A and B are shown apart, each in its own frame.
Chain A
Amino acid sequence: MQGLSARRRNNPVTTKQQLLAHPRLMFSCDAVTSGAPDPAVFAGQVPVQARERKGTFFTTWSPLAMAPIVAPPPPTTFLELLPTLDQWERDLFDTCHFLVPCHKALHIVCTEPLLFASDGGAASPKASFGWVLSTNQGQRLLHVSGPAYEAHPNSYSAEGYGILSVMRFLFRVQSFVTETLSDSRLCCHNKSMVASSHKVPAEWKRTPNSTQTSDYDVLAEIWATRDLLPVTVCPAVLHIKGHQDKKTACEQLPLPAQLNVDADKLAGDCVAAHPNTDYTVVPILPTGGVQLHLPAGTITCNMKKEVSMARTTEPMKQHMIKKHGWDEETFLDIDWEAHRRGANRHHKRRTTLKHWRRDVPRDLLSCVQVPSKKRLEETVHVGFAQEAELFGH
């Protein structure tokens, strides 16, 4: 094994890059730099003493008298509390608009039964949520909306973010005020999200594999927050029919439906208000703790499919380019989304496996490799659109 000194002797030119590249690097300097240093470079840096021995720079750390870090004063109002939260939680209250004075709203939260209505919407590649807080008499107290992050947004996760935002609101208010919160109901029109968020799954259902289910990070955070809330404070999550204003005037609808319409509008306005927000990178939620990042963004649902797509798309693309003598530009010029939709629409997609291999021209749906019979059986639902879906995302 060649020592550091020997390597220095062999290569006497010392540059910053070489020093940085060394695994045992303790300090780096730029030997070719000359002239007066820019003071801006040292802003916020602590001076150290460095000495060189056999080509390696060692630093001597002498703690300097530093000004003690003064803790910021605790927030006195709820609105002051919001900026002190972690980034992921701040995003849940991205747009927070009290319709009555904040202290009055918090007083009502503690004294009167409440009604929340949450809604989420997704129009790829963007998704958002919105929720409304109201008294049972219909007095609106608070409007909140925010982005729902995901590489491939769907309304399920957007609804999840809405419910999570409500839960975190109750948790923060409960820790902020001294009184006990009154009981509340939360209306949401996504039945599956209502069912999922309603209660934590039984212990025996929680396996490592269950963490791969769609939008587990949001659900886990909802369940964790529910556990932090007293039973009396935890809102009852109810399902209501959505978009009822399509047939009936909004004023004539029952209060939960009216609030749902308001929440829907808030979610739509949120997307319109943030046209440049990048929704593909999901802030990590503390309970989830781990994320899968692919070039398309953070993957929080359809893990197996997304990983499989990420693995096979590029080889498939190269195979088709080679087979048909296309160049990259030609390949990208083909509308694969229309191809996917056309293939999915065709009745042959529903053909059974037995007839599948014989009845379908191979070239039409060329694959990189012929999957085993078992795999084909597993993917028979995708079947016909296998190639198409590769390029549909």
Chain B
Amino acid sequence: MSGLRKKLNSLGTEIGLMEVMLAGVKSALTRQQFRVPQELRNLAAAQEAAGWIHLFKGRISKQWINRQRDHIGDKATTKNNALNWATTVIDHFFTQWFKVWDQRNLDRHGHDYQGRANKLKDAAFREITRLYTFAEAVPEDIRWLFQTPLEECMHWPLFCQRAWISNWENIIKKEHAAQMETG
């Protein structure tokens, strides 16, 4: 938030506009209501219709730009104008959005080689565990697939786990579904 405030300040954003944008961003993150000054109600309503969360995706109402254009007035130049202001604001949102996305990727897929390998193994084990929950509900003829105890599966190398999943996942799901239908 402080980064956004700093950016909006450096771009010469109108004070009222800046406060509404900051409040809107905060409300999108916290899902809390906020008060809007009377003269900016239309603008807030227009962004509300599109969704405040869409600010992060660069989808801003034209009313922001119109308001900033009025604020810049005669001082507008080819570099300092409302469209460039909006472009820079959107670029800032994109930058922050991608930072979050990159962080999410690191958390999900691991930070280094070992971390990535562990994450992959965790994911494979989660899938096998889920498939083992069908063990009691599948027909007798394929129940032998679950002979190996789950604890032992956990110690398999990753390629074995992936091979087991890709070999049997579809069959187990299909047989389970058929069993559920027939009762």
Contact A341 B87 (CB under 8 A): yes
Interface flag for B62 (CB, 8 Å): yes
Instruction: Give A16 to B54 CA distance when docked, in angstroms.
Output: 54
Closest 3 pairs between A and B when the two form their complex, measured CB to CB: A342-B90, A338-B86, A341-B87
On chain B, the residues within 8 Å of A348 by CB distance are: 94, 98
Contact A334 B59 (CB under 8 A): yes
Question: Which parts of A356-378 form the interface with B (CB within 8 Å)?
Answer: 358-361, 363-364
Residues of A in contact, count (CB < 8 Å): 24
On chain B, the residues within 8 Å of A339 by CB distance are: 58-60, 90
B65 to chain A, nearest CB (A): 6
A–B pairs, 29, beta carbons within 8 Å: A324-B50, A324-B54, A330-B46, A330-B50, A333-B50, A334-B50, A334-B54, A334-B59, A334-B60, A334-B61, A335-B62, A335-B65, A337-B83, A338-B58, A338-B65, A338-B86, A338-B87, A338-B90, A339-B58, A339-B90, A342-B86, A342-B88, A342-B91, A343-B90, A345-B87, A346-B91, A346-B98, A359-B102, A359-B105
On chain B, the residues within 8 Å of A176 by CB distance are: none
On chain A, the residues within 8 Å of B83 by CB distance are: 337-338, 341
Q: A-facing mask of B82-125, CB < 8 A → 1, else 0?
A: 01001111110111011001100100000000000000000000
B55 to chain A, nearest CB (A): 11
Instruction: Give A361 to B63 CA distance when docked, in angstroms.
Output: 27
Residue of B nearest to A329 (CB): B49
Contact B87 A342 (CB under 8 A): yes
Contact A361 B87 (CB under 8 A): no
Contact partner, A333, options B49, B91, B105, Cβ 8 Å = B49
Residues of B in contact, count (CB < 8 Å): 29
Interface flag for B41 (CB, 8 Å): no
Residues of chain A touching chain B, judged by Cβ–Cβ distance below 8 Å, are: 324, 326-327, 329-330, 333-335, 337-339, 341-343, 345-346, 348, 358-361, 363-364, 388
On chain A, the residues within 8 Å of B90 by CB distance are: 338-339, 341-343
On chain B, the residues within 8 Å of A388 by CB distance are: 58
Interface flag for B57 (CB, 8 Å): yes
On chain A, the residues within 8 Å of B58 by CB distance are: 338-339, 342-343, 388
On chain B, the residues within 8 Å of A346 by CB distance are: 91, 94-95, 98
On chain A, the residues within 8 Å of B94 by CB distance are: 342-343, 346, 348, 364
Instruction: Give A140 to B46 CA distance when docked, in angstroms.
Output: 56
B93 to chain A, nearest CB (A): 8
Residue of A324, A334, A335, A339 contacting most chain B CB atoms (<10 Å): A335
